[in-house]
Amino acid sequence: MDLAVVIVTWNVRELALQTLRSLYNDLASSGLSAEVYVVDNASADDSAAAIAQAFPQVKLIASSENLGFVKGNNLALRQIMDSPAPPRAVYLLNPDTITQPGATRALYDALFASSRVGLVGARLSYGDGSFQHAAFAFPGLRQLWVEFFPTPGRLIESRFNGRYPRALYAGEQPFAVDFTLGATMMLRSEVIAQTGLFDEAFFMYCEEIDWAWRIKTAGWDVLCVPRAHVVHLGGQSTGQARPQSVMHLWTSRLRLYRKHQPAWKFHIARLMIAFGLWLRLRREQNPALRQTYQMLYQMARQA
């Protein structure tokens, strides 16, 4: 088997069906032998039944609870990696994507073009066709500055803020990056065997950054592949109240800095985060968000 595709869904029935249609259309002309796994996180919109009816060939894993993105992917990944003959590669794909013709094959070819490449991701665009950053440099102190403090626009769209030049996306050649967005991640199975699965301490946000960091630390290259174009509608599967999303985001960011940055940089990062959250707390009028920022501020101070 060349490829196993994993899609995790939660209350995005129509988007997931669209994602599967475009994926299967692309796989049909790719020349790849592939299986598609869908993990449904106890959706209330009959996603699992609709997917089973429309795509009976899908290996459907219907969870009885919302496991989140990380545990949902890991559930399928364990099944794939524990099989007697794992595929050469595994492709993690968001349920709010539309695969453009040739994208899957372009990713697969780039992944195996060099023995050094362990992870690849696609070029992304939004639903209206506009540009979307698909890959970034690992977050450091400069990104935190941009997050909280006034910054010239030219720096926001630059390497100062972890962005790669748009000209690279417009080219034909894959280019080296630190990490790709979790919307499209294709990995060698041997990389998964070597580095492990997603870290389940990250319920939501930063999980793909953490995994890419571990992959690069293990000596593998990570590439963005411009010839592989995927439309990423973005954020449709989150569906959370904003305070909960904010809590998950900053809890994960603190965890990421602690795990991968040297102690001195983590100390500076948590102070910057604490001060930035205090500034937001002062400006915020929503009571629920104020409470969330207060909790996060105390967490950052004591981290």
Per-residue model confidence as pLDDT tens digits over 133-164 = 999 999 999 999 999 998 988 888 889 999 99
**Residues 173-214 pLDDT 10s:** 999 999 999 999 999 999 999 999 999 999 889 999 999 999
Location of each CATH 3.90.550.10 domain in the chain: 3-232
**Residues 211-265 pLDDT 10s:** 999 999 999 999 999 999 999 998 554 444 489 889 999 999 999 999 999 999 9
Tell me the C-alpha to C-alpha distance, in Å, between residue 25 and each of 46, 55, 98, 239.
23, 12, 10, 28
* pLDDT on residue 240: 46
| pLDDT > 70? residue 12 | yes
Q: What is the mean pLDDT of residues 87-104?
A: 98
pTM: 0.93
* Percent of the chain predicted with pLDDT > 70: 98
d(CA 206, CA 137): 13
Asked whether the beta carbons of 109 and 242 are under 8 A apart, the reply is no
- CATH assignment of 3-232? 3.90.550.10
